Structure 1
Amino acid sequence: MPYASDIEVVVFDILGTMVDEPGGLRAAIRDAVPATADTSVDHLLTVWQEHVEHEQRRIEERSRAYANTETIDREAAQRVADCAGLTDPAAIARLATASQRLKPWDDSVTGLTRLARHFPVLGLSNASRTTLLHLNAHTGLRWHQALSAEEAQANKPAPEVYQLAIDAAGCPPERILKIAAHAWDLRGAQATGMRTAYVQRPAGDPPKSTDTFDWQSNSLDELVTALTAT
């Protein structure tokens, strides 16, 4: 484990790490289709998630040109609407922007604020620039800088997305700490030379036995305490 003194800049994943993406999407689906039972909401959430994952995989494999998350979310919302029999254009349009209104985890705002007193903090997200702008305003997350993968016309874990953060940080990647609740994201950051810290979240992707991240924490509060201890 490296010393926190070796770290110059901290880079956060946002979706799933700082905000409850599945919970927010589930709530938005329930609002759009209020008579839907919980089991049906879960099915519709799966429809949304599978579409997003499939299209991002197609982009990664270059079988689809890059499309930002606003475009893919609109497609996902329409798929959910088709499955649920939802025809109200206003309701579908609002559902398509659900990612702009996700709720932060209980320790996200305070943890980010605490850490920002000690390090420059960057947000690095696959969310589009517009989605990221509205999401940050909605949640109260205050970054020194927030970067969208849209700038690289790619999605994490493509190396060019992490390069955005390295370029913005202006220091060697081994002096940058990437924080995420997704092991796949941390592996991508590791491949570019960044340090890594896993934070457990209910909707995250836990590490495998073969993963060797620099820090592993049960909460953001726990991680921030470890990083700022003198």
Structure 2
Amino acid sequence: MVLNFFDQFMSPTHLGIPLIALALTLPWILYPTPSTRWLNNRLSTLQSWFIGQFTKQLFLPLNKPGHKWATILTSLMIFLITLNMLGLLPYTFTPTTQLSLNMGFAVPLWLATVILGMRTQPTHSLGHLLPEGTPTLLIPVLIIIETISLLIRPLALGVRLTANLTAGHLLIQLIATAAFVLLPMMTTVAALTTILLFLLTLLEVAVAMIQAYVFVLLLSLYLQENI
């Protein structure tokens, strides 16, 4: 029986219950809770240092009103990195390969930035739809184009994260299958394929971290336009 390579991206169920909820709650168990002590252990200290450096780097170009988003965007960054990295382990499921889940992250946060801009500075937010100095005949066309580009932003966020992770996982499975098939016939080629698989896995680890950072970075840029 030949299985479909895309079966690995199907949401697993047990007794009719989708296990994606378990996959979404697991990352929070892996991180230690900061204690009230003066000195924490090395893991907690490293975790606090990473969160502080990332938050400082991400919110440095933002105005002070945007700093209120530090908690939610930093938490989202750590959450996405953990989900992407856990999906690289054997016999695991990557929830971020589901477009519905990524759109569930992208749409509410993008919509919150748009609503914030409309509430705080409506003239400036609406000004993005019509560049200054536009000829009169092009005004309706440009408004439609800019509105479509605004509405397509959350779709681009979700599709980018889904496509990158899905392509990487699928390529890893294809190369692993090729190495397994070639092992009894051409051992040397199978060994070279295994080395390629190892290098691709390292690349996929980098992609898992970079895509989470890009997702949050683009949200911060959308926020910067509306504050």
Q: TM-score range, shorter-chain basis?
A: under 0.3
Q: Name the structure where strand makes up a greater proportion of residues.
A: 1
Q: Name the structure where helix makes up a greater proportion of residues.
A: 2
- Structure ranking higher on relative contact order (CA contacts 8 Å, 6+ apart): 2
Report the structure number with the largest CA radius of gyration: 2
